[in-house]
Amino acid sequence: MNIAILGAGIIGVTTAYELAADGHAVTVFERHTSIGEEASFANAGILSTGCVAPWTAPGMAGKLGRHILTSNAPLRMARPLHAADLGWMRRWLTACRSGNFAANQSRLLRLAIYSQQRMREVSASMAYTFDRSDGHMVLLRSEKDRRQIQPALIALRELAVPFHEISPSEARQLEPALHPHTDLAGAVYFPQDEVANCRQFAIILRDAAEQLGARFEFSTAVASIDPTQPATLRITNADSPRRFDAIVLCAGVQSAALLGPLGIRLPLRPVYGYSVSAHIPESINAPRSGVTDEHYKVAITRLGQRVRVAGASEIGGRPGHIDDGAIRKLYKVLADWFPAAGRLSKGVQVWKGASPALPDGPPVLGSSGIPGLWLNLGHGASGWTLACGSARVLADQIGGRAPAIDIEGLGLERIMGHGK
């Protein structure tokens, strides 16, 4: 088939790779000049099966998520708050009360485990290596932190997620640069989690997709999907429409705007987060892999010769506006755990990114209900973790094969009722 992919973030690139590997003629449209310029640019890099969880845990809407083991920071409202953000929050509150948290968590987990397996297969066939490391630890500052996460650990045991509760000295053996003067009551170690550079992976995978025949058209914004013709695109400033056999929408937070004119009103909103990345002058002072501070919900990761600290979940606000308080918190948590890890005097990269989030957690994969239009979007705070598996699932669906995992609850009907 002749297939168009909208968006070259991590979701679009992995989708391009899988469809090209299946023998399809693939064209990727990206409005920026390069791969991974938006949400996939400078994320924390954690590929976690242990910490994938929707924002809708019981209690999330009250004291906002203290007792749920997840790297998602509690949601904070920022101004200006768009009417669509309020609508999203209403649906999020409903989802918090619906009792569907466990079902959505196991949907995410199923996809995360499959994704990790698929990523390992795809990486093994790639010509280049990328910055990566094994293992991820959730740091517990106090006995209170330890008590509060116990219900989450029970749920992880039920879901057969491998983890170890470890003592402070065991945690320091795994991460010897952890600051000895910061209170540490213990940690939860996920040996099968990984840390890897998402954008670097996407750039290498673009190369692999091109080797398989995929074409990338950069600086090409899709203005609309034609509601009157199947699988037809209108490109901004181009005279004639582009026709395909199928379109896959992977346009991150912009996906909702492209779907609206087709009658699909998807409650997809940007949830903003921040990261600060700095060069590592001395490796022994930096993390070996990745840690998440459970109290502050801030992750610190090692990405080659850089340390990255990431966190915050803001709904509303402006894309370009940096919240100084959020950045101060990132510096504080970095100083608490790895005070000498990064050179902070120059060359520091401060980034704000918008995760494409649906109110109940899991992404939407599969048919849109409109002939020829497929969806791979709404991966929220776990898009890097879920990318390779989501792309493979979608390629199987387009190819008319049964995906390797149960995809119950990952279709559009979860959000919209029946189809559109």
Ligand X SMILES: Cc1cc2nc3c(=O)[nH]c(=O)nc-3n(C[C@H](O)[C@H](O)[C@H](O)COP(=O)(O)OP(=O)(O)OC[C@H]3O[C@@H](n4cnc5c(N)ncnc54)[C@H](O)[C@@H]3O)c2cc1C
- Binding residues for ligand X, rule: CB under 6 A, are 6-12, 29-32, 36-40, 43-46, 221-222, 250-252, 254, 273-275, 310, 353, 355-356, 379-385
- Collapsed DSSP state (helix, strand, coil) of residue 381: helix
Q: Considering beta carbons, is residue 91 or 136 the nearer one to ligand X?
A: 136
> Which residue's entry shows tokens 């402070």?
168
Which helix (H) or strand (E) covers residue 353, if one does?
strand 349-357
* DSSP 8-state assignment for residue 130: -
- Collapsed DSSP state (helix, strand, coil) of residue 121: helix
Q: Considering beta carbons, is residue 61 or 258 the nearer one to ligand X?
A: 258
Rounded to a whole number of angstroms, the minimum distance from the CB of residue 17 to ligand X is: 13
At 230, give phi and psi (nearest 5°). Answer: -65, 140
Rounded to a whole number of angstroms, the minimum distance from the CB of residue 263 to ligand X is: 18
Rounded to a whole number of angstroms, the minimum distance from the CB of residue 27 to ligand X is: 12
Length of the chain counted residue by residue: 420
Q: Considering beta carbons, is residue 23 or 398 the nearer one to ligand X?
A: 398
In Å, how far are 116, 131, 280, 344 from 197, measured between CA atoms? 14, 6, 15, 20
How far apart CA 279 and CA 285 sit, in angstroms, is 12
Q: Considering beta carbons, is residue 104 or 385 the nearer one to ligand X?
A: 385
Q: Would strands 132-140 and 290-293 be described as parallel, antiparallel, or unpaired?
A: parallel
Rounded to a whole number of angstroms, the minimum distance from the CB of residue 73 to ligand X is: 9
Q: Which residues contact 246 (CB under 8 A, 6 or more apart)?
A: 1, 2, 3, 4, 231, 372, 373, 374, 398
Determine the angle formed by the axes of helices 198-211 and 10-21, rounding to 10 degrees. Answer: 30
Q: Considering beta carbons, is residue 86 or 218 the nearer one to ligand X?
A: 218
Other beta carbons within 10 angstroms of residue 124's beta carbon come to 7
Q: Considering beta carbons, is residue 147 or 215 the nearer one to ligand X?
A: 215
Q: Considering beta carbons, is residue 43 or 148 the nearer one to ligand X?
A: 43
Which tokens hold the place of 131?
């910055």
Rounded to a whole number of angstroms, the minimum distance from the CB of residue 14 to ligand X is: 8
Q: Considering beta carbons, is residue 6 or 209 the nearer one to ligand X?
A: 6
Which stretches within 183-323 are classed as H helix? 198-211, 255-259
What's the first-to-final CA gap in the chain, in angstroms?
Answer: 24
Rounded to a whole number of angstroms, the minimum distance from the CB of residue 238 to ligand X is: 12
Rounded to a whole number of angstroms, the minimum distance from the CB of residue 143 to ligand X is: 27
Rounded to a whole number of angstroms, the minimum distance from the CB of residue 169 to ligand X is: 27
Rounded to a whole number of angstroms, the minimum distance from the CB of residue 99 to ligand X is: 25
Which tokens hold the place of 57?
């845990």
Rounded to a whole number of angstroms, the minimum distance from the CB of residue 15 to ligand X is: 9
Residue 418 CB-half CA count within 13 A: 0
Q: Considering beta carbons, is residue 146 or 295 the nearer one to ligand X?
A: 295
Q: Considering beta carbons, is residue 105 or 385 the nearer one to ligand X?
A: 385
Say if CB 92 and CB 359 are below 8 A apart. Answer: yes
How far apart CA 72 and CA 52 sit, in angstroms, is 8
Which tokens hold the place of 50?
């242990």
